[in-house]
Chains A and B, each alone.
Chain A
């Protein structure tokens, strides 16, 4: 028997599921927002501000972006796992991706709550 190559923790299924759940969340958000925009189309900057002044809208938007970043993280890591074989280089790139995505998340909070 060949010994299986140990490749890390059992997070394969968790990530695969997470990718699908985050995709679902994003889809729902997009549908809801498109619905809202069709129902009461904002015409000015003020209208847009008013729309995002609602707390539920802010939270929903935050959830959307967090899903997007989580989704992107799994996707980016998948790509890095596929194509970058040297562990050191891959780790470096993974850290870079995490930092960028975390930065984006902070920026999203800043934008939404400074309106």
Chain B
């Protein structure tokens, strides 16, 4: 099977290059990650991140034939050859398929991604109805793989100012939690022309999310909350 893979090692290369591989696959090689590991067994200089190999850890996001996705849950049989692999767009490349995700996580941290409830802790759990809990579905499942944010032109142009779809999805995860008390602070934190409003609803994030989540809808709901508060 044929692959074209982005290669760059700042220790050796002055410029990035595309390297061609033609590797014999075994019947057990079903996902793209299996193929990459087979390639690495031949050429150990190919660097990539991987861990759970089942789509829950979010390590192995990359640009696959032009579209962001997770290598471990992308079937080889669904890919057109040569399979062109590049690092996630819009983030600095450390080496080969490995990008520097500092900016992505900075934005995630900036939304205060933790429950805020300053009431004294009750002895038992804080009650939450099944309906209230259902509000968190489609939000808490995010694996922080960065497929969405690095597919978003607004994040490409303003990664330092625009929170990006992943961060905003998590911002809404806490806004939507019946146990969270910081709604007003959270909305203040986002009410500015860049942090939230760089989203122009082009839905690239929805298109690439490997977990089938919908950050655009969450962003819309944050805007609704702001309007409700203003009116």
Q: Which residues of A contact B (CB under 8 A)?
A: 1-2, 4-5, 7-13, 15-17, 78, 81-83, 85
User: What are 9 inter-chain pairs, A to B, with CB distance below 8 A?
Assistant: A2-B106, A4-B189, A5-B161, A7-B194, A8-B193, A9-B192, A12-B194, A12-B196, A13-B191
How many residues of B are counted as interface, with CB atoms below 8 angstroms from the partner's CB atoms? Answer: 26
Which 3 pairs from chain A and chain B are nearest by CB?
A12-B197, A7-B194, A12-B193
| Complex: chain A residue closest to B112, CB-CB | A1
- A78-B200, A83-B157 as given contacts; A1 in contact with B191, CB under 8 Å: no
Cβ–Cβ < 8 Å partners of B138 in chain A: none
12 further A-B contacts with Cβ under 8 Å, apart from A15-B193, A16-B197, A81-B193, are A2-B106, A4-B110, A4-B189, A7-B192, A8-B194, A12-B190, A12-B193, A12-B196, A17-B230, A81-B158, A82-B153, A82-B158
Return B192 CB to nearest CB of chain A, in Å: 5
Q: Do B157 and A11 have beta carbons less than 8 Å apart?
A: no
| Nearest CB in chain B: distance from A101 CB, A | 18
Name the residue on B nearest A16 (C-beta).
B197
Tell whether B154 is near chain A: CB-to-CB under 8 Å: yes
Q: Answer yes or no: B52 CB below 8 A from chain A CBs.
A: no
Partner of B227, one of A2, A5, A8, A13: A13
Asked if B53 is at the interface of the complex by the 8 Å CB criterion, the answer is no
CA distance A85 to B106 in the complex (A): 20
Compute how far the CA of A8 lies from the CA of B191 in the bound complex, rounded to whole angstroms.
Answer: 10
